[in-house]
């Protein structure tokens, strides 16, 4: 973003992953806590999926299906994070594959990947200079490059090597737009790209919608174009959409409260780590707070995604256990 690219452009934000496990986590020896804000429901058996959760409503239905969307930042600073995500994903898939519903059936899951960028033109006005920018993004399209394999724009249990397909798609590169808009990218993916047929068929009315966002920046989602900015402070930038708008959108596409969950891995503060610099993602923290017990926020400042992915697994597990049932 501006504080990294100076007068030339803006920098990085990214979005990523989720999962669940039957008796113990695929990420061994990691603590499990997830939920409102940075904390959440703790399983009696840490990392368990299908195990008894404290406070679980025994009358609640359990989801039989899970539609998982990874929103991955593909701007200039995200190479290390993308590689770390790809390395950790096999454990995530193992946990999902091991999940058993109350009936003893396997979870019917699918995973799609998109990025934080959309086509946008804007001008940076700083230090007496006006620098026009024009950037191209995925606009919410689920990634399905030919080199990665896979028969659909999403991956599911019928694919022969889901781990390698995901790892390839998650390595989205670092040439994407430098104004990161993960929440607007979600809206484009789950609305516009459904309507025009690009992502059609992914969403199922009886599936828990699970979202993972990975980024070292904040969310600057705005839906206008040809604007002028002086800096990259998303929480004070004019015309940035309220995060509550995107929570309402998720209620609409999933069928209502309790039918979607989110895990964000971003900066809980400004920091440096083995991933490089990160800023505090204030808007994304607010977004997780709206999700309540179905949301978790993990710090990218740890320099490793293992803990964040574990918390995603635990949170999606809890959301699956209390799923309201088909709409």
Q: How confident is the model at residue 32 (pLDDT cuts 50, 70, 90)?
A: very low
Asked whether residue 55 is domain-assigned, the answer is yes
Asked whether residue 326 is domain-assigned, the answer is no
The total number of structural domains that make up the chain: 1
Asked whether residue 180 is domain-assigned, the answer is yes
* pLDDT at position 60: 52
Range of the structural domain that residue 162 is part of: 2-321
User: φ, ψ for residue 93 (rounded to 5)?
Assistant: -65, -40
Q: Which of 149-158, 195-204, 235-244 has the highest average model confidence (pLDDT)?
A: 195-204
Asked whether residue 159 is domain-assigned, the answer is yes
Per-residue burial over 301-310, b if 16 or more Cβ lie within 10 Å, else e, is bbbebbbbbb
pLDDT, tens digit, for every residue of 108-156?
999 999 999 999 999 999 888 999 999 999 999 999 877 898 889 999 9
Residue 15 burial class via C-beta count within 10 angstroms: exposed 0-12, middle 13-18, buried 19 and up: buried
pLDDT, tens digit, for every residue of 7-31?
333 333 333 333 333 333 343 333 3
Query: By the 8 A CB rule, do 99 and 49 touch?
Result: yes
Asked whether residue 179 is domain-assigned, the answer is yes
pLDDT, tens digit, for every residue of 171-193?
999 999 999 999 999 999 999 99
Q: What is the pTM of this model?
A: 0.82
* Least confident window among 181-195, 209-223, 299-313: 299-313
Mean pLDDT of 151-167: 92
User: φ, ψ for residue 293 (rounded to 5)?
Assistant: -70, -15
Asked whether residue 327 is domain-assigned, the answer is no
Asked whether residue 186 is domain-assigned, the answer is yes
Could you tell me the CATH number of the domain that includes residue 29?
3.40.50
* Least confident window among 1-15, 97-111, 219-233: 1-15
Sheet of strand 155-156: strand arrangement: 155-156, 108-115, 65-72, 208-214, 260-266, 295-299
Asked whether residue 201 is domain-assigned, the answer is yes
Residue 99 has pLDDT above 50, yes or no: yes
């Amino acid at each position: 973003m501006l504080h990294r690219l100076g007068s030339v452009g803006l920098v990085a934000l990214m979005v990523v992953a989720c999962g669940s496990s039957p008796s113990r986590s695929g990420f061994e020896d990691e603590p499990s806590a997830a939920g409102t804000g940075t904390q959440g429901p703790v399983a009696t058996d840490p990392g368990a999926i299908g195990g008894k959760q404290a406070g679980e409503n025994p009358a609640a239905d359990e989801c039989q299906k899970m539609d998982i969307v990874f929103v991955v930042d593909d701007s200039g600073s995200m190479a290390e994070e993308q590689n770390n995500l790809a390395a950790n994903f096999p454990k995530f898939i193992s946990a999902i594959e091991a999940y058993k519903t109350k009936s003893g059936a396997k979870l019917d899951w699918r995973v799609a990947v998109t990025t934080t960028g959309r086509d946008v033109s804007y001008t940076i006005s700083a230090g007496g200079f006006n620098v026009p920018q024009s950037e191209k993004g995925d606009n919410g399209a689920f990634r399905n490059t030919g080199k990665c394999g896979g028969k659909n724009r999403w991956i599911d249990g019928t694919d022969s090597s889901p781990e390698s397909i995901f790892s390839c798609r998650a390595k989205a590169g670092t040439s994407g737009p430098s104004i990161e808009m993960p929440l607007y990218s979600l809206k484009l993916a789950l609305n516009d790209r459904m309507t025009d047929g690009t992502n059609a068929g992914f969403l199922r009315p009886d599936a828990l919608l699970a979202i993972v966002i990975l980024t070292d920046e904040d969310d600057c989602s705005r839906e206008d174009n040809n604007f002028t900015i002086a800096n990259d402070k998303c929480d004070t930038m004019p015309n940035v959409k309220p995060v509550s708008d995107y929570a309402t959108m998720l209620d609409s596409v999933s069928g209502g409260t309790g039918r979607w969950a989110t895990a964000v891995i971003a900066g809980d503060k400004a920091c440096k780590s083995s991933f490089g610099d990160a800023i505090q993602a204030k808007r994304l923290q607010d977004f997780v707070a709206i999700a309540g017990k179905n949301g978790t926020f993990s710090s990218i400042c740890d320099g490793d995604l293992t803990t964040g992915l574990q918390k995603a697994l635990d949170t999606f597990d809890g959301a699956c256990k209390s799923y309201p049932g088909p709409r």
